[in-house]
């Protein structure tokens, strides 16, 4: 429904109570159905009251392009004001997404906007305007370029690969021609030292992109010669195209051109920095790791989140400011190390999922900051009363805080860094759960017939066998044998519609990536030349269904068909007792009752 106030922006309307696919026709006055499902209908939706379009009606008299909460509504980027971003990407273009992960938030010294600013204290919009007027060989004059006006631009249009003309001194008859320089052997005894002394830069100046692209066409060094054979073998084993192999070799030449110490091993952060020059990052890192030349120094997402919450002395976006005491910081770093890598020392612990660690950090960060501001110098000073008083009042936040504090003090007590565990005897707060809802069968049938074979197979596996999103992502080709899916200790005979879509997907995969060595069942253009699983949004990004909602629909149908047989639900879908009980609570709900004969219990 609309937010408070007559001129407030419209919120995302609720789905139709009948079909669940379209949004409700109106939110003020309140209507719980779309125009196609209104009682006495279906009715034809009116034209958009803003643009007059008769197509793609969304809600509240507006089409999907005009409604501010529609997934198809186009607006400006929050970071650089570029036009052409969607709400599904949080109103942020691709360049600003990278910008936000590398620079802190602050006030731009040139335009005064609150945004993520670089080392020059400039936001991305001011820096891009300065680069438009930059003189080759000179640093961009940010103040002068943004003095009178700023040039806006379209989103995701700045960093396309640029075609560089071949210089006149490079011909097919010269020794370092493009035809044969990738096959030149390296000198015997070539080695790279991870302890090589590095020449520190007096001024950190980025090279001119045009000059760099000219230099890499004739670059020849021990690094490119040493990696040439390794790159060719890696590309052959992983089914890389000629274009991808040449792009990696070009990135290696670029890396050797810009780095100050040619005989040192390569830091992953130096490779990531080549993204501004259109470098191929992931594949280059894979080749350097196989050659034994990579120094991994790029922090993971959890480590960046931990640093932003605890170790940044300048504060963060949550309003937490001030550095932690050194002893507290060392204990938190030890806790993070054990959570991510596990421990063989008593108390032994297996590595935890990074998503779980992030939830624990989110729960304890405000509490630890509050203790530090109150004058605590060590976690040994914290008592049981302090823990109870610091817990938030909201149920979900309290649950996350309890999980994080229990794991923190359990590790500190096991390492004898605190005298007693103040969370001992703390009663856990129950987690609020929702009621599983059924999905429109017509929508499922439409997605099962999707022209994308990956989408059709994913929907079939979840709709018939209720696989979770994590199980679907990590499913291997060897897990399916003779029409049966082997998932842990479960042996699942595949349904006939699943086998049909599986055969169609395997044919499509073999035609598109015939030489891919990726063992996972579902792959895409980015993961085919590697061994990693696809991302969590593949192949659901273009689908109208969510994997979790479809899984809940399948389990909900089973619990109603069996009359509440919890044991059968656990055996069939691998659920725990508490997880199956959540679906058992819908048996007597009048709106979730399924008509028809039930399957007798055995």
Own/partner contacts of 390-394, CB < 8 Å, gap of 24 or more, are 391/367, 392/366
516 in a domain, yes or no? Answer: yes
57 in a domain, yes or no? Answer: yes
Check whether residue 340 and residue 354 sit in a common domain: yes
Check whether residue 230 and residue 123 sit in a common domain: no
Check whether residue 331 and residue 285 sit in a common domain: no
Check whether residue 59 and residue 83 sit in a common domain: no
CA angle 104, 258, 245 (to 5 degrees): 100
Residue 308 structure tokens: 């932003």
The Cα 120–Cα 281 span in angstroms is 25
* The dihedral sign for the CA sequence 547, 551, 554, 557: negative
pLDDT of residue 367: 92
CA torsion, ordered 198, 200, 204, 209, to nearest 10 deg: -30
Check whether residue 281 and residue 339 sit in a common domain: no
pLDDT of residue 523: 92
Check whether residue 250 and residue 360 sit in a common domain: no
**Nearest CA among 438, 434, 443 for reference residue 595:** 438
**524 phi, psi to nearest 5 deg:** -140, -170
Longest dimension (CA), the chain: 84
Check whether residue 84 and residue 56 sit in a common domain: no
* The dihedral sign for the CA sequence 102, 105, 109, 111: positive
The Cα 531–Cα 245 span in angstroms is 17
Q: What is the pTM of this model?
A: 0.61
Check whether residue 456 and residue 398 sit in a common domain: no
Q: How many domains does the chain have?
A: 5
> What Å distances lie between residue 475 and 444, 459, 541, CA to CA?
22, 14, 19
Range(s) of the domain holding residue 347 = 315-414
601 in a domain, yes or no? Answer: yes
Domain termination site, one of 73, 100, 128: 73
pLDDT of residue 460: 93
105 in a domain, yes or no? Answer: yes
479 in a domain, yes or no? Answer: yes
Check whether residue 599 and residue 462 sit in a common domain: yes
Check whether residue 124 and residue 35 sit in a common domain: no
Mean pLDDT per 10-residue section of the chain, whose length is 602 residues: 49 80 81 82 83 82 82 86 86 88 89 89 90 75 88 75 46 43 54 64 75 72 81 87 87 83 81 84 89 85 87 47 80 91 85 90 92 90 91 89 92 90 87 80 90 92 90 91 87 92 93 89 89 88 86 87 82 82 73 53 44
**295 phi, psi to nearest 5 deg:** -110, 110
Give the CATH number, domain containing residue 513: 1.10.443.10
Domain termination site, one of 50, 73, 96: 73
Check whether residue 447 and residue 580 sit in a common domain: yes
155 in a domain, yes or no? Answer: no
Question: What is the SS3 assignment for 184?
Answer: coil
The Cα 271–Cα 254 span in angstroms is 10
164 in a domain, yes or no? Answer: no
Domain termination site, one of 73, 103, 123: 73
431 in a domain, yes or no? Answer: no
Check whether residue 400 and residue 509 sit in a common domain: no
Beta bridge partners of 493: 484
pLDDT of residue 194: 61
């Amino acid at each position: 429904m609309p937010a408070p106030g007559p001129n407030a922006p419209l919120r995302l309307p609720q789905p139709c109570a009948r079909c669940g696919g379209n949004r409700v026709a109106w939110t003020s006055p309140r209507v719980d159905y779309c125009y196609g499902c209104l009682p006495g209908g279906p009715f034809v939706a009116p034209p958009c009251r803003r643009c007059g379009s008769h197509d793609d009606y969304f809600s509240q008299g507006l089409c999907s392009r005009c409604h501010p909460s529609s997934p198809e509504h186009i607006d400006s980027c929050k970071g650089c004001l570029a036009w052409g971003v969607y709400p599904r990407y949080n109103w942020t273009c691709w360049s600003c997404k990278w910008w936000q992960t590398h620079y802190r938030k602050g006030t731009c010294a040139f335009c005064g906007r609150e945004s993520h600013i670089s080392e020059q204290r400039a936001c991305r919009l001011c820096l891009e305007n300065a680069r438009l007027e930059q003189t080759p060989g000179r640093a961009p004059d940010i103040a002068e370029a943004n003095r009178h006006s700023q040039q806006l631009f379209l989103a995701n249009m700045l960093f396309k690969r640029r075609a560089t003309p071949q210089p006149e001194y490079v011909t097919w008859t010269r020794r370092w021609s493009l035809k044969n320089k990738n096959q030149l052997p390296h000198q015997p005894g070539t080695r790279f030292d991870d302890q090589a002394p590095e020449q520190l830069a007096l001024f950190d100046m980025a090279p001119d992109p045009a000059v760099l692209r000219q230099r890499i066409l004739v670059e020849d060094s021990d690094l490119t010669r040493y990696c040439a054979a390794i790159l060719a073998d890696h590309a052959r084993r992983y089914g890389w195209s000629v274009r991808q192999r040449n792009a990696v070799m070009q990135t290696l030449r670029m890396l050797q051109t810009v780095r100050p110490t040619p005989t040192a091993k390569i830091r992953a952060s130096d490779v990531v920095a080549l993204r501004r020059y259109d470098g191929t990052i992931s594949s280059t890192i894979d080749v350097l790791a196989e050659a034994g030349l990579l120094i991994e120094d790029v922090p993971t997402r959890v480590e960046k989140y931990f640093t932003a919450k605890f170790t940044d002395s300048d504060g963060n976006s949550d309003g937490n400011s001030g550095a932690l005491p050194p002893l507290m910081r060392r204990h938190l770093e030890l806790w993070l190390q054990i959570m991510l890598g596990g421990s063989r020392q008593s108390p032994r612990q297996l590595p935890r999922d990074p998503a779980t660690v992030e939830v624990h950090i989110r729960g304890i960060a405000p509490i630890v900051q509050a203790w530090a501001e109150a004058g605590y110098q060590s976690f040994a000073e914290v008592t049981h009363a302090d823990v109870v008083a610091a817990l938030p009042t909201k149920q979900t936040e309290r649950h996350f805080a309890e999980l994080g504090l229990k794991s923190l003090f359990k590790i500190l007590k096991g390492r004898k860094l605190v005298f007693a565990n103040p969370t001992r005897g703390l009663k856990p707060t129950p987690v609020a759960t929702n009621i599983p809802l059924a999905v429109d069968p017509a929508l499922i049938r439409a997605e099962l017939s999707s022209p994308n074979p990956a989408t059709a197979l994913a929907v079939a596996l979840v709709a018939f066998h209720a696989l979770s999103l994590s199980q679907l992502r990590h499913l291997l080709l060897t897990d399916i044998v003779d029409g049966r899916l082997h998932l842990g200790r479960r042996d699942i005979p595949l349904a006939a519609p699943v086998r049909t879509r599986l055969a169609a997907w395997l044919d499509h995969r073999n035609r598109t990536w015939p030489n891919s060595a990726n063992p996972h069942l579902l792959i895409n253009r980015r993961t085919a030349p590697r061994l990693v699983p696809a991302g969590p949004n593949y192949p659901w990004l273009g689908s109208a269904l969510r994997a979790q909602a479809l899984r809940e629909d399948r389990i909900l149908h089973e619990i109603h068909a069996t009359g509440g047989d919890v044991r059968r639900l656990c055996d069939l879908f691998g659920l725990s007792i508490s997880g199956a009980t959540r679906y058992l609570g819908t048996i007597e709900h009048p709106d979730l009752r399924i008509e028809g004969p039930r399957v007798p219990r055995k």
